[in-house]
């Protein structure tokens, strides 16, 4: 700047001098020497002016560059503010559901990510799958097992489990004598618990007898009593003449079914169940509740193969989703801590079954389960599902509801007005699907109407999305971070999103499976996690039948009561039992 100031003063002096020369030349003629000197000075003055102009232009350009850089930084910061504001709005909406979930405690060393977190990163990375996301190495875990206890010194009665209403059934000694049996003593009483209007306890006084051959064993013969002589007349008392407990428990089929439904349909925790039993004049420990549920699940596991066969019916459509849960495991070093595990959920609306599968997030878990399934698989576009595209004789379809949520978030959380046009177009797609259901169209008719009404909308969606992305790449338009993710997500998985139009039996979204996942997420919120992998598998078993009963319009309580009634009488033909209790799909 100092050099420019000196050049300006020099230019002023030269101008004054040339002015005087010009005035003198008007009155007196200039010699050749003076004229040459005069022209040289004019050239020098012109060069000085040109230098000043160039410096001024350079200074202006530099100021423009600095201003543009400042504007870019401000725009970048504003984009970050908008993105963080959108994320804040989205998190606030999820706060009541997600952040209210119980934590596994300070001892948890789990550093795994949930599917929602991984999916968010997948979308933010432009739908590019990380190289290590397919098959993550996991530490081999083994379940913590307790040493077996000595049960030989058990007392006759446990003080931790007792009902206020106690009915004692004595063994008829006269009948024993008539049968040729010698009464020696009473054995340890057999307690049976049943829930009527309150929890009822029936105590059967078994006799330890010896037959004519000298063989000793426990035996029970009910006494003949009239109804007026019975201690309690809630229901038909004749069914209590002999014990009818589910094997390995002290529970009737009715009470065990109540516990199952309360826990896995209504998400009642063991603590709440215990307090509820207090109101029914019953005391029971948490460990007893779990043991009964575990034994019940062991019987039901034999029916899962039938449910799986119905699920994997060739040519049908399976809707798949999964959710995470913290599970306490014991690693190879004997250390106990929590690990991220997954509950896979499969729904087949054709056969009306739902199947829960507990395991890790490795693809091998679902690969082994599906086997050589031939049909259609509906999922979201999460990276872990992309290997479905490589399965032979299997069509992979992606969920439109998931795409719509991204545009809704861009509009609602990030205040991006451009997202509304895409929401409206997707709404037209759903309108066609509603008409298909309301009018009861056949699969061929559905494909026809999708081709006539949905395909033009889909083409419009794709053209608008690609046009916006091109304009954004050329800095011709500004898009919010969430709208960028939505557009990239949709265009990258366009083939899978379009696939539903060609298959009349496939829905437009995966909402039916997400609804089936919700009972599990309710359990996760209430329980906080699983204390063992065995507990997770028990949960998967019971939820499979609870949700299948819902799809088949069968009351879960009626199913479980009917099933365990069959178990009590000794039936073990599980496939026939399942078909008898559930409507076998065509």
**What is the pLDDT, as a whole number, of residue 100?**
44
Based on the number of CB atoms within 10 Å of its own CB, is 255 exposed (0-12), middle (13-18) or buried (19 or more)?
Answer: buried
Entry pTM: 0.72
Residue 312 to residue 66: CA distance in whole angstroms:
64
The reported pLDDT for the residue numbered 95 is: 66
> Mapping DSSP to helix (H, G, I), strand (E, B) and coil, where does residue 188 land?
coil
| Inter-residue contact 141 to 339 (CB < 8 Å) | yes
Identify which of 560, 549, 550, 557 has the alpha carbon closest to the alpha carbon of residue 582. Answer: 549
Residue from 543, 421, 528 nearest 483 by CA: 421
Burial of 506 (C-beta count, 10 Å sphere; 0-12/13-18/19+): buried
* Residues paired with 185 in a beta bridge: 208
Is 318 within 8 Å of 346 (Cβ atoms)? Answer: yes
**pLDDT band, very low/low/confident/very high, at 115 (cuts 50, 70, 90):** low
**490-534 pLDDT tens trace:** 999 999 999 999 999 999 999 999 999 999 999 988 888 888 889
Q: pLDDT category, 96, cuts 50, 70, 90? A: low
- The residues with which 251 forms a beta bridge, in sequence order, are 193
Q: Which long-range contacts (CB under 8 A, 24 or more apart) does 122-125 make?
A: 122/382, 122/383, 123/406, 123/485, 123/488, 123/489, 124/481, 124/485
DSSP H or E segment with residue 518? helix 511-527
Higher pLDDT, 217 or 14: 217
Taking the C-alpha atoms of residue 264 and residue 428, their distance in angstroms, rounded to an integer, is: 38
301-315, 352-366, 371-385: the lowest-pLDDT one: 371-385
Bridge partners, 242 (sequence order): none
Above 80 in pLDDT, residue 382?
A: no
Secondary structure element (H or E) that encloses residue 25, with its range: helix 2-27
153, pLDDT greater than 80? no
Rg of the chain over Cα atoms, rounded to whole angstroms, equals 40
Residues 6+ apart with CB under 8 A from 15: 45
> What 3-state class would DSSP assign to 60?
helix
Using alpha carbons, select from 56, 67, 71, 39 the residue that is nearest to residue 475.
Answer: 71
Contact 423, 404 (CB under 8 A): yes
- Residues constituting the chain: 586
Residue whose pair of structure tokens reads 């008829």 in the numeric block: 172
In this structure, what DSSP letter does residue 389 have?
Answer: G
Q: Are 60 and 68 in contact (CB under 8 A)?
A: no
Strands 182-186 and 207-210: antiparallel
Rounded to a whole number of angstroms, the distance between the first and last alpha carbons of the chain is 91
d(CA 237, CA 250): 18
* pLDDT level of residue 228 (50, 70, 90 thresholds): very low
Q: Decide if 487 contacts 479 (C-beta within 8 A).
A: yes
Domain borders along the chain are: 1-23+35-100, 158-225+239-243, 314-532+539-551
Query: Helix, strand, or coil here: 142?
Result: strand
Q: Angle, nearest 10°, between helix axes 533-551 and 556-568? A: 110
Model pLDDT for residues 311-363, shown as the tens digit of each residue: 999 999 999 998 998 898 887 788 888 888 999 999 999 999 999 999 887 77
φ, ψ at 322 (rounded to 5°): -155, 165
Residue 221 in contact with residue 171, Cβ under 8 Å? yes
Task: Report the range of poorest mean pLDDT among 54-68, 98-112, 191-205.
Answer: 98-112
Strand order, beta sheet including 199-204: 165-169, 199-204, 190-195
Q: Would you give the DSSP letter of residue 440? A: T
3-state secondary structure of 118: helix
Q: At residue 18, does pLDDT exceed 70?
A: no
At 46 the pLDDT is: 73
């Amino acid at each position: 700047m100092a050099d420019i100031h000196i050049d300006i003063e020099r230019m002023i002096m030269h101008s004054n001098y040339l002015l005087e020369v010009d005035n003198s030349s008007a009155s007196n003629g200039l010699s050749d020497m003076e004229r040459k000197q005069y022209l040289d000075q004019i050239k020098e003055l012109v060069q000085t002016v040109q230098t000043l102009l160039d410096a001024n232009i350079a200074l202006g350009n530099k100021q423009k560059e600095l201003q543009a850089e400042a504007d870019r930084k401000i725009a970048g910061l504003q984009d970050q503010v908008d993105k963080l504001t959108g994320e804040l709005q989205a998190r606030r909406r999820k706060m009541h559901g997600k952040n209210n979930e119980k934590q596994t405690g300070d001892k948890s060393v789990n550093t795994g990510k949930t599917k929602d977190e991984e999916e968010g990163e997948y979308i933010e990375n432009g739908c590019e799958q990380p190289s290590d996301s397919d098959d993550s190495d996991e530490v081999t875990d083994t379940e913590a097992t307790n040493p077996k206890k000595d049960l030989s010194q058990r007392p006759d009665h446990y003080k931790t489990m007792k009902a206020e209403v106690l009915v004692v059934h004595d063994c008829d000694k006269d009948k024993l004598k008539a049968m040729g049996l010698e009464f020696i003593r009473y054995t340890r009483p057999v307690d049976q618990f049943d829930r009527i209007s309150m929890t009822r306890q029936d105590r059967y006084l078994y006799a330890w007898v010896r037959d004519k051959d000298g063989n000793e064993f426990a035996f029970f013969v009910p006494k003949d009593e009239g109804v007026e002589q019975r201690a309690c007349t809630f229901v038909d008392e004749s069914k209590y003449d002999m014990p009818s407990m589910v094997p390995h428990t002290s529970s009737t089929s009715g009470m065990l079914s109540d516990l199952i439904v309360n826990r896995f349909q209504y998400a009642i925790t063991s603590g709440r169940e215990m307090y509820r039993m207090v109101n029914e004049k019953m005391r029971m420990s948490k460990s007893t509740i779990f043991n009964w549920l575990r034994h019940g699940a062991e019987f039901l596991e034999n029916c899962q193969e039938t449910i799986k066969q119905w699920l994997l019916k060739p040519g049908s459509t399976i809707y798949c989703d999964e959710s995470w849960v913290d599970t306490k495991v014991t690693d190879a070093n004997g250390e106990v801590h929590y690990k991220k595990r997954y509950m896979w959920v499969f729904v087949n609306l054709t056969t009306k079954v739902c199947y829960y599968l507990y395991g890790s997030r490795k693809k091998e878990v679902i690969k082994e389960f599906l086997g050589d399934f031939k049909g259609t698989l509906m999922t979201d576009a999460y990276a872990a599902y992309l290997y479905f595209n490589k399965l032979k004789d299997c069509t992979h379809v992606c969920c439109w509801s998931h795409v719509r949520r991204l545009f809704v978030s861009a509009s609602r959380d990030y205040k991006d007005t451009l997202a509304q046009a895409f929401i409206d177009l997707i709404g037209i797609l759903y309108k066609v699907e509603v008409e298909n259901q309301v009018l009861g169209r056949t699969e061929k008719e559905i494909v026809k109407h999708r081709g006539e009404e949905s395909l033009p909308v889909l083409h419009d969606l794709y053209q608008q999305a690609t046009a916006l992305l091109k304009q954004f790449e050329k800095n011709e338009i500004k898009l919010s971070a969430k709208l960028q993710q939505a557009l990239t997500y949709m265009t990258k998985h366009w083939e899978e999103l379009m696939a539903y139009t060609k298959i009349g039996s496939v829905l437009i979204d995966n909402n039916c499976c997400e609804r089936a996942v919700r009972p599990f997420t309710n359990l996760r919120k209430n329980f906080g996690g699983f204390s063992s992998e065995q507990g997770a598998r028990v949960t998967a078993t019971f939820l499979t039948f609870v949700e299948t009963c819902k799809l088949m319009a069968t009351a879960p309580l009626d199913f479980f009561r009917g099933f365990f009634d069959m178990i009590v009488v000794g039936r073990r033909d599980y496939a026939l039992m399942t078909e008898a209790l559930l409507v076998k799909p065509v």
